[in-house]
Structure 1
């Protein structure tokens, strides 16, 4: 009986490795789950809170979109002189039309629909944070940096909001990561240029970041990336020019009008006020997590060794100088610079935490750092969301019997507009019972709903036939037959 022939193993290149895909999947799923959670969280917060950080959140995107979709609404002066482009409001208008088709007539429902693409954009931003940090601190360091930036207080406050700063900053982070890549320069340039261009479309003030990023590429002598960045950016610019031509009758009308109003003519400072250079000092110091200052020496050491500043830090530094030098200042203008500083510092923090020898020290330091990331939300930006007012407006106008609304103790630009009323009924705002708007509303029998902040004029409203029907936080909802 002959022995069986020996079974030879296949060459190493074709040896099946069943555990490798499983390990890769196990490594990928935490990242996917984190990206989904971090991407959706700011949008969920914004929809749950309602309210506004700044009137522009309503009157530079939501209300123009409502006007575009339904043919009525309050258009701010910028939309009458062509100081803005219709890209973001135009997209939102199509989503509002989709909401009508789907039967989403409740303001919270169609506001949630608008939040879907913004959550996707923020998820893209989160992926960029992970990629940027992974190159410097490995996979675990990338995950930790993703949490450090994703749970950064101002990001949670801003990223789900319909502000130009919110949209533009997400695109800027994507661009920073793309242009930071050493591999695949063509793709890096195309993605980076596309993201930079969209950052400017979302907010013209981000043009400073674009020019700074191009200078950084020149200094780094990354000519191929620079060429394709400019090519992709040119494509976005041509699209913007075509959009302005179609909507304002002249290519780049909104961009040139913006530059003239905010930079060349000084009208922004005359109309909205000028502030000294120290205006941003307090929000800058309180708006950054304390761990940024703790890892700053590590960043300076790396800077000395590499003789080059990272792209997000370079852009943040130039941008901060630019907004300090600009006469008209607002706390929200600081947001893009703060996020880029945190992005630049997060990999150093992750590397420091992961270098700790003991697991207890790593977990403890990591938890403290993430908690510290949340803290600036308490200080920056200083504002009253007035979410209870927006929720009260929604509640007051939901039933079919609501024929008109008066909002007491609030001005026009602080209110939610037709977007949150959700129907074409007469409405107005006033501060005191002696105001002409209040007196006119009391005589106008169409005005049968009222919302008043902190109980102002409740007695006068009741004397005119209104009765209290609901209390929403600090807001009182009243109705009359």
Structure 2
């Protein structure tokens, strides 16, 4: 439990202001997000949403990670709960359940503002500076742009932040106490376990979050006064590691199968670099500046002032950024969980600087001035949001995707045509001519349990499908029934589809010899 010297009325006011700020953050994300059907990165669909859709509706395209067991099912399972609840309420079409999913993601992501504020207060930032820290996160242009997307980095962030808040904000377990203090100590112990557990759950959602768990617990091992905290924290993390292994055992037939496959692909095969390219060691500095502007500069500079006062948080953020910097392929989304932590450290860093001002009577004015400057910079940064391009966040180039394209609604028209095709009563097969399914929303948008062909899974004959989407001139006999430039939806034949002899719902269908080699 967090301990504060603020009065109950002050805490209530702070909570109310934070709630208003969080609601404003949700509004900004959904302002751009509700009409955004873009897929700026395939992982937003095929690592989370598509497997969740398959759990709820029974069908979906499978990325290689889900064919060969390189992902844990915890995160798709949670999102399947959201889709399942939407289905029970009658929201069974992409136009409706996608809005619900985006609203859910935006809400939990913006909830991270609460631990940002309370962590800043815990490490001695003033109330005004703590609000400024929350604003650095909530109204950060890059965080607005990604804050409604179904990315594991986005969804796991609030689990990391609430976990750090409760794990660091409780009285050390094992502290001697009697009477009411003993009861309070038991309560603190529960909050501590809950905090470490949330970090453990974040690891289930994204394996790289183990770096936060390591940075949180390991330093206590070398502090005599924190031995009880270390023992309890380590035991809690071991429990969640066993849960991770159990989920893999149930779903993949082997404990920790997904962790092993994922680490093998990235560490041994260097797969992300081979397929997606490499970047310089300090590329994350460039991405912070290109996506956030002046806000990014603050987040990179001010935390250095907070090292002495907020060392646990600094270690968490520094270790996470350093480890990711050693990997050649870099995208901003990989490290967005550090942004709210850096916002906390920025507020604490300003407070440290203010405390060094010898003229104590000037400190309140400096506190107000610094906070106003931060709020002003954040407000100006919101104007960057609609101008962001895929390259600004380190996005990847694909056949129909240029890094110069806007981050918003890129290829959104294609996904809306997918939904339109899925709503056709007579559809029995769809062919995406010259289009890779990896650049689309898959069955999550198509939402029809029929044959789905694309450039990586070609039809055997024209009779395998009766609708097609293309940006090229139509085939013989094709009739236009829908358009969202540059793509057009065609009806290709009046007859029912003839099933192919071999059909797979793989995102990329490997030839038999390659598939055998991959599974060895």
Is TM more than 0.5 here?
yes
Matched, 1:80 2:67: yes
Displacement of 1:45 in angstroms is: 4.1
User: Partner residue of 1:368?
Assistant: 377
User: Partner residue of 1:90?
Assistant: 77
Structure 2 Cα separation of the partners of residues 95 and 50 of structure 1 = 19
Q: Is the 8 A contact 1:241 1:252 kept in 2?
A: yes
User: Partner residue of 1:387?
Assistant: 412
Displacement of 1:149 in angstroms is: 0.7
Displacement of 1:105 in angstroms is: 1.9
Displacement of 1:469 in angstroms is: 3.3
The one-character-per-residue Cα deviations of 1:131-161 (angstroms, maximum 9, x if unpaired) are 1123333333333321221111222122321
Structure 1 Cα separation of the partners of residues 412 and 353 of structure 2 = 39
Residues 337/296 of structure 1: CA separation in 2 closer, same or farther (3 Å cut): closer
Structure 1 Cα separation of the partners of residues 367 and 168 of structure 2 = 32
Structure 1 Cα separation of the partners of residues 299 and 272 of structure 2 = 37
Q: Is the 8 A contact 2:132 2:374 kept in 1?
A: no
Residues 237/296 of structure 1: CA separation in 2 closer, same or farther (3 Å cut): closer
SS at match of 2:234: helix
Matched, 1:62 2:52: no
Matched, 1:467 2:480: yes
Matched, 1:144 2:125: no
Please identify, of 328-337 and 71-80, the stretch whose mean Cα deviation from structure 2 is larger.
Answer: 328-337
Bigger relative contact order, structure 1 or 2 (CA pairs below 8 A, ≥6 apart): 2
Q: Is the 8 A contact 1:295 1:348 kept in 2?
A: no
SS at match of 1:48: coil
> What do you get for the CA RMSD once the two structures are aligned?
3.5
Structure 2 Cα separation of the partners of residues 209 and 374 of structure 1 = 32
Displacement of 1:86 in angstroms is: 0.8
User: Partner residue of 2:208?
Assistant: 205
Structure 2 Cα separation of the partners of residues 412 and 394 of structure 1 = 14
User: Partner residue of 1:417?
Assistant: 442
Displacement of 1:109 in angstroms is: 1.4
SS at match of 1:277: coil
Gaps of 5+ in 2: 1-6, 174-188, 355-362, 396-402, 495-520
The one-character-per-residue Cα deviations of 1:306-329 (angstroms, maximum 9, x if unpaired) are 3x6533332222222212222444
Q: Is the 8 A contact 1:289 1:373 kept in 2?
A: no
Structure 2 Cα separation of the partners of residues 132 and 339 of structure 1 = 10
The one-character-per-residue Cα deviations of 1:143-201 (angstroms, maximum 9, x if unpaired) are 33212211112221223211122123332222333343264652453133112212211
User: Partner residue of 2:313?
Assistant: 312
SS at match of 1:444: helix
Displacement of 1:129 in angstroms is: 0.9
Q: Is the 8 A contact 1:47 1:108 kept in 2?
A: no
The one-character-per-residue Cα deviations of 1:300-350 (angstroms, maximum 9, x if unpaired) are 4454xx3x6533332222222212222444443233344433342144458
User: Partner residue of 1:238?
Assistant: 242
Residues 349/187 of structure 1: CA separation in 2 closer, same or farther (3 Å cut): farther
Structure 2 Cα separation of the partners of residues 120 and 172 of structure 1 = 15
* TM-score, L = length of structure 2: 0.74
Q: Is the 8 A contact 1:152 1:374 kept in 2?
A: no
User: Partner residue of 2:100?
Assistant: 113
Matched, 1:190 2:216: no
User: Partner residue of 1:444?
Assistant: 463
Please identify, of 70-79 and 332-341, the stretch whose mean Cα deviation from structure 2 is larger.
Answer: 332-341
User: Partner residue of 1:258?
Assistant: 262
The one-character-per-residue Cα deviations of 1:284-310 (angstroms, maximum 9, x if unpaired) are 44245424545876654454xx3x653
Gaps of 5+ in 1: 1-19
User: Partner residue of 1:14?
Assistant: none
Structure 1 Cα separation of the partners of residues 300 and 65 of structure 2 = 41
Structure 2 Cα separation of the partners of residues 355 and 199 of structure 1 = 38
The one-character-per-residue Cα deviations of 1:17-40 (angstroms, maximum 9, x if unpaired) are xxx987765554333332344356
Displacement of 1:254 in angstroms is: 1.3
Give the paired residue count.
446
SS at match of 2:432: strand
The 5 Å alignment of 1:285-300 reads 285-291=289-295, 293=297, 299-300=303-304
Displacement of 1:204 in angstroms is: 0.9
Q: Is the 8 A contact 2:141 2:382 kept in 1?
A: yes
Displacement of 1:47 in angstroms is: 3.8
Give 1:215's match in structure 2, choosing from 208, 213, 218.
218
